[in-house]
Structure 1
């Protein structure tokens, strides 16, 4: 559109204001996205304990979401096809494998009672491995009929329930280790750890 004769073309200014409004909206939107940080001022640098707790609880939180969804899907197995059941089993195996890798990469925190925390995480990995084997067995081949399919679903849902219980117990134990006040505070102050234990 041509500017009115004798006037000022304000189109670039309007476009700039629109771009600014869009950018402002994006910044505001990002600011309210929930994260897995400390309840302290975001400008403060996290401690080693807070970083470790955040990484642990973030990985566990993502895995727990997948497990909860899987349990919901498998709650009515007669309404599912064999392919849908197998796809859900695959999601459980993949998410659990990812969590075990994350736990292995995490190691022990560089804090007081860090060795004890590392042992708890290592023990959790072993528990997860044992239940992951149950899921693997249930996925080994095609079930022969509805009865076998339902039995496998029951085995997997039981394994998932046990893994969730073990994981929640470990997070709780990590936040209550004797002589680990720094780690205890980190779990108490980290939002995603609070979500796991609430």
Structure 2
């Protein structure tokens, strides 16, 4: 079950500023072996939506309008169809293992995984669907790194959303039987109509109305 993770205070060697930085901000130096999910939830003053991939902290760029509109469109659409035993959650960390805590743009998670309103993450085992909206600066992560990690963690369904002339195109994937690799099940423009992981029918063209 998800919850709030804590860590022991970092040593002086871990928290000292990195002199190579010239931004004027004091960033912590990673410990030997890299950061862990405990650090992700305990380091002070991390930027919002910081993610952990392979022991490295990943900071996100300012959100583009398209990115936010697509998240709102799919979040609202999924809420209309999601079964009672699941919940739709936006921009929440998914703990895969000690060194990986990515943050999908949208997740569909088991309702039983919700501990309380203070929780800050879900476990990968409790995730049914992860959705990533591709941004130019995160394209490599959204198209390669993160879906591979979601598949290896056993998350059954993954959607990747690209912009095509400012309109969303949704590629749907699901785990191939007996593997930890995704197989593409369809590409959706204008209308996202699926029967898995549950019946879904979202008018993608309605993004113009947001």
TM-score by length of 2: 0.21
RCO higher in structure (CA 8 A, sep ≥6): 1
Structure with the bigger percentage of helix = 1
Structure with the bigger percentage of strand = 2
In our comparison, the structure showing a higher alpha carbon Rg is: 1
TM-score by length of 1: 0.22
